[in-house]
């Protein structure tokens, strides 16, 4: 693949992430996604690694070796974490740590290396996803959940996203609201069945409930719609770069930006029972509360 207008061969060489750095990033992600239980600690067993397409093409010939050495590194790190002195084990038990060590959640490690499908990553960037299925806790009224840890390495900066999704029950819950809209792929309808949903273009680092096919004017995570379980009222939170309108009027931005990091500031706007939500004046959602 040819060079871009601004990249020289030396700049591309410097931006490349060594294969050993990819392995280290997967191991670090595993350490971030450990889940202590009563008698043991679970480590996620499935990892998906996304690379810039040019970086993926460069490593494609050695990916089987990269996978084998990543699996080996995960097993060695697990062994290292479990190899503690008797004194440390005693202090760990006194501190409430699980007593029977750390184990892979499903027994076998799975690691997959894929090119970035969204075109967001620069050469040298790295995104590692891990998924850990958490057991149900009937005593707390909690069903089976999946926790997803996404670690994004971009230049010298590392960002971690943590999302836990509860498994939907076999019987579909009654809708709380309905959203209809038209985007570049046609007409769509979406039923809101939980208390918080995110709408936007989505992407590998930005899981959304309603994925919009539109130009980059619509942000990856554009808005969040939140329902207050106590009152049943809905609220709109703007997470976008180019703004959100409610019935033609702009709503306040729901985040502050500092040093390139976005932090939600608590600003939200009450949603009427019927509303028209504009995403960067490109796509419009028709929102209707049910009941």
4 inside domain: no
Q: Give domain status of residue 149, yes or no.
A: yes
3-class SS of residue 173 = coil
d(CA 107, CA 120): 33
**Percent of residues, the chain, with pLDDT higher than 90:** 55
Residues 126 and 150 in one domain: yes
Q: Which distant-in-sequence residues (6+ apart) come within 8 Å of 90 by Cβ?
A: none
Give φ, ψ of 214 to 5 degrees: -160, 175
Closest to 35 (Cα-Cα) out of 44, 26, 27: 44
Closest to 166 (Cα-Cα) out of 137, 128, 139, 127: 137
* pLDDT for the residue numbered 237: 96
Is 172 domain-assigned?
no
- Whether 217 and 161 share a structural domain: no
Residue at 3 is within a domain: no
Give the CA count within 13 Å in the CB-facing half-sphere of 87.
0
How far CA 26 is from CA of 43, 55, 82, 198, in Å, comes to: 12, 16, 18, 27
Average pLDDT over residues 250-265: 84
Split into its structural domains, the chain has a count of 2
CATH of the domain at 239: 2.60.200.20
Q: Region 1-15: what's the mean pLDDT?
A: 42
CA distance 217 to 239: 13
* Average pLDDT of the residues of the chain: 84
Average pLDDT (126-153) is 76
Rounded average pLDDT over 74-95: 71
63 and 102 in one domain? yes
Asked if residue 150 and residue 63 are part of one domain, the reply reads yes
User: Both 35 and 142 in a single domain?
Assistant: yes
Selection from 12-21, 112-121, 270-279 with the highest mean pLDDT: 270-279
What is the structure's pLDDT at 10? Answer: 47
Region 77-94: what's the mean pLDDT? Answer: 68
Query: Would you say residue 139 lies in a domain?
Result: yes
Sheet holding 177-183, edge to edge: 186-192, 177-183, 283-289, 274-279, 244-246, 249-250
Cβ–Cβ < 8 Å for 212, 203: no
- 254 band by pLDDT with thresholds 50, 70 and 90: very high
pLDDT surpassing 80 at residue 2? no
pLDDT digits over 186-238, tens only? 999 999 999 999 999 998 888 899 999 999 999 999 999 999 999 999 999 99
Query: What number is the average pLDDT over the span 35-43?
Result: 84
Strand order in the sheet with 223-227: 210-211, 196-200, 223-227, 234-238, 269-271
Query: For a pLDDT cut of 70, what percent of the chain falls above it?
Result: 82
Position 135 scores a pLDDT of: 65
**How confident is residue 102, by pLDDT bands cut at 50, 70 and 90?**
confident
pLDDT band at 100 (very low <50, low <70, confident <90, very high): low
Name which of 76, 159, 79, 67 is nearest 113 in CA terms: 67
Q: Identify the DSSP state of 52.
A: -
Identify the domain containing residue 123 by its residue range: 9-166
Going by pLDDT thresholds of 50, 70 and 90, the confidence category of residue 11 is: very low
Say if 99 falls within a structural domain.
Answer: yes
Residue recorded with tokens 């939600």: 264
The predicted structure's pLDDT at residue 91: 52
- Report the SS3 class of residue 180: strand
User: Lowest mean pLDDT: which of 1-15, 34-48, 151-165, 179-193?
Assistant: 1-15
CA distance 177 to 195: 10
pTM of the model: 0.70
Question: Is 231 a domain residue?
Answer: yes
CATH number (domain holding residue 58): 3.30.2320
Considering the domain architecture, whether residues 115 and 188 belong to the same structural domain is answered as no
Q: Are 211 and 154 in contact (CB under 8 A)?
A: no
- Cα(210)–Cα(285) distance, integer angstroms: 11
pLDDT higher than 90, residue 241: yes
User: Which comes out higher in pLDDT, residue 186 or 107?
Assistant: 186
Mean pLDDT to the nearest integer, 29-45: 87
Same-domain status, 196 and 124:
no
Q: How far is Cα 192 from Cα 62, in angstroms, rounded to an integer? A: 44
Pick the most confident of 10-19, 128-137, 239-248: 239-248
179-190 average pLDDT score: 96
* Beta bridge partners of residue 278, listed in sequence order: 245, 284
């Amino acid at each position: 693949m040819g060079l871009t207008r601004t990249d020289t061969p030396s700049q591309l060489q410097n931006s490349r992430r060594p294969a050993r750095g990819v392995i280290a990033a997967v191991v670090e992600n595993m350490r971030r996604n450990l889940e202590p239980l009563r008698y043991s600690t679970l480590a996620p067993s499935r990892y998906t690694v996304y690379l810039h397409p040019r970086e993926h093409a460069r490593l494609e010939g050695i990916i089987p070796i990269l996978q084998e050495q990543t699996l080996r590194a995960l097993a060695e790190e697990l062994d290292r974490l479990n190899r503690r002195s008797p004194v440390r084990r005693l202090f760990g038990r006194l501190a409430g740590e699980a007593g029977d060590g750390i184990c892979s959640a499903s027994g076998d490690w799975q690691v997959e290396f894929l090119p970035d499908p969204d075109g967001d990553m620069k050469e040298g960037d790295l995104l590692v996803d891990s998924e850990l299925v958490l057991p149900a806790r009937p005593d707390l009224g909690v069903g089976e959940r999946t926790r997803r840890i996404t670690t994004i390495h971009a230049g010298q900066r590392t960002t971690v996203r943590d999302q836990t999704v509860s498994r939907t029950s076999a019987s579909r819950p009654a809708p709380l609201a309905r959203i209809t809209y038209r985007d570049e792929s046609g007409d769509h309808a979406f039923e809101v069945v939980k208390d918080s949903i995110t709408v936007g273009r989505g992407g590998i680092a930005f899981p959304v409930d309603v994925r919009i096919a539109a130009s980059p004017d619509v942000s990856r995570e554009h808005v969040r719609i939140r329902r207050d379980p106590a009152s049943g009222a809905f609220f709109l939170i703007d997470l976008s770069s180019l703004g959100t309108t409610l019935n033609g009027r702009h709503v306040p931005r729901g985040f502050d930006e500092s040093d390139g990091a976005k932090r939600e500031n608590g600003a939200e706007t009450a949603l009427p029972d019927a509303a028209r939500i504009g995403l960067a004046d490109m796509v419009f959602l028709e929102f209707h509360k049910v009941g």
